[in-house]
Amino acid sequence: MTKKLIALLMCLCLMLGLASCQKAAEPVDALPTAVPAAEETAAEETVAEETTTEETTVVSTPADTTGLNDTDVLLTVNGEAVTWADAKPYYDSFVSQYSAYYDMSLEENVKTFQAVATENAFHEKLLMQKATELGLAPLSEEDLAAAATEADAIWEENVAYYMSMLTSEDGSAAASREQAVAYLEEQGFTKDYVYDNYSKSMVLDRLYEQVSQDVSITDADVEAEYQALVAQDKALYENDIDAYVAYNSNVDMNNMYAMYYGGEAMDYAWYRPEGFRGVKHILLSVDESLMQEYQNIQAQLEEGVAEGEEAPEVTYTQADLDNAKAAILAANQEKIDEINQRLANGEDFEALIPEYTLDSDSLYEVSLASTNYVPEFVEAAFSVDNVGDVSAPYISQFGIHIVKYMSDIPSGPIEMTEDQRAAKYDSLLTLRKDEVYTVAVEEWKAASTIEYTGLVMSYDELLEQMMAEEAAAEEAAVVEETVEETTMEETTVEETEEVAEETTEEAAE
């Protein structure tokens, strides 16, 4: 069992598998992951529009190879049976997500996914028992009617999504709908299944809220969290501007994906090291043909000719690049001179930005370590020495930059905005509620009578097996490394003895 698989299963159980042990997600998210979540649909459609030449392939869930029947009892919780019919939806969902990465014809993988699915079914049964005990289940007729209405909406949303992916032979909407419904039902995603899952999510939502209703967060809690984050990031980045820049670049990438595909946004580092300048720039447009010529020459000089590639018809030199740069500046010289003259006459640089620039008048925080800006912009920002100085024109792929050194950006904590405080309040509240709820679930579990029938491994047994295999693998790696080192040492000794013998022989001669 590999570390990757261990990490996968921890993720499945702690994030996906035990979703019923935490606050229920939005209804669509609680459904099998073969079905798109509502918030992902728009992003996926955007991607589809951008890649219209690619065919959309709908992947079916692999056949069930577990050898279990729906009526097989896997365990009992307080005398109530958990059957394979209860665990199978979880199993199918996991297999649908991960069968591309794990060979489900291997018995060890099947058993692993069975154990994870069974753990989910067990927790669902336990929590529904507790909800019933607390009077939160069964739902009232009014709640059931509301659940049916919402389930219908979720069902139709997913049917419409798959209709957009599947094109019927005759092109009719009715035929496309029939195909979409058939596909969803083949995956076990029926209208009844949607209704059942949404009804359960209503119950589990209420259970979560009842258990965590007394949890609260104060302004002092938020401030303490902020100060802890600042202290943590100060230790990481105060003397390592490269690490600071790399981290924030990673945040940029993560947040871009989160915006398009859904997911949790990350915070930027809360402590800024020394070495940043605040700059603004005027960005002049450049004739497309002149820019293309400049970039072609620049690319050839930077990349050269790879081994095995044919030499280009035209080979450029640095003089060609200088001439192309000069041509761009010459074509814009009148405008550059006009800007310089207006600045010399005392006009405000910032007032000229909206008149000339292609960009906004944002203040950019730039350091010599910055990688999120084109190199020419960074070079221009540090080409002058004093606050208030304006650079010469620098050419990049975006145009001509004329940069003003506005200020030094002080090192130290980055102030938290009101929006960030509100977001931190919400995240802390959710975290505290989750902690309280998790403790309650563990207490309910400890007080329960749980008996496995032996048809599947328990999750605890699975983890023990994994840890034992991991320990054995690490021990084997240590032994192998020791053997290699011993072999190398013996080889070195032999070589030393050979050299000594040769030296002795030479001396004798």
Cα 338-343-349 angle, rounded to 5 deg: 110
DSSP string, 76-100: EETTEEEEHHHHHHHHHHHHHHHTT
Q: Which residues contact 86 (CB under 8 A, 6 or more apart)?
A: 74, 121, 124, 125
Residue closest to 118 by CA, chosen among 12, 27, 30, 262: 12
Say which amino acid occupies 59: V
Residues in the chain: 509
Q: What is the fold of 276-410?
A: Chitinase A; domain 3 (3.10.50)
**What are the sequence ranges of the domains in the chain?**
3-138+187-213, 219-272, 276-410
Q: Which residues of 245-256 are buried (b: 16+ CB within 10 A; e: fewer)?
A: bebbeeeeeebe
* DSSP conformational letter for 390: B
Which regions in the chain score pLDDT beneath 50? Answer: 1-62
Q: Which amino acid appears at position 501 of this protein?
A: E
Q: What whole-number distance in Å separates Cα of residue 362 and Cα of residue 410?
A: 18
Contacts of residue 168, Cβ cutoff 8 Å, sequence gap at least 6: 175, 176, 178, 179
Report the pLDDT value the prediction gives residue 75, as an integer from 0 to 100: 97
Whose tokens are 């600042």? That residue is 230
Two tokens at 462?
Answer: 């699975």
37 in Cβ contact with 29 (< 8 Å) = yes
Instruction: Give dist(CA 186, CA 7) in Å, integer.
Output: 30
Determine the pLDDT at residue 506: 61
- Tokens (6 digits) for 299: 């690319």
pLDDT for the residue numbered 421: 96
pLDDT, residue 25, reads 31
**Cα angle 263, 426, 440; round to 5:** 95
What is the model's pLDDT at position 170?
64
Strand order in the sheet with 450-452: 80-83, 73-77, 450-452
Question: Does residue 244 contact residue 366 with C-beta atoms inside 8 Å?
Answer: no
- Asked whether 470 and 152 are in contact (CB, 8 A), the reply is no
Look up residue 380 and give its two tokens: 């221009």
What pLDDT, on the 0 to 100 scale, is given for residue 344? 97
Q: Which residues pair with 407 in a beta bridge?
A: 278
Q: Report pLDDT for 67.
A: 84
Percent of the chain with pLDDT over 90: 62
**77 has which bridge partners?**
80, 450
Q: Take residue 418 and report the two structure tokens written for it.
A: 């009101």
Pairing of strands 364-366, 276-284: antiparallel
* Euclidean distance between CA atoms 486 and 481, whole angstroms: 9
**Tens digit of each residue's pLDDT (9 = 90 or more) over 423-478:** 999 999 999 999 999 999 999 999 999 999 999 999 889 889 888 888 888 888 88
Cα–Cα distances in angstroms (integers) from residue 391 to residues 78, 353, 399, in the given order: 76, 14, 15
Residue 210: both structure tokens together: 């009842």
Exposure string (b/e) for 257-270, b if CB count within 10 Å is 16 or more?
eeeeebeeeebebb
Query: 66: which 2 tokens?
Result: 């577990």
Cβ–Cβ < 8 Å for 8, 131:
no
CB 163 within 8 A of CB 181: no
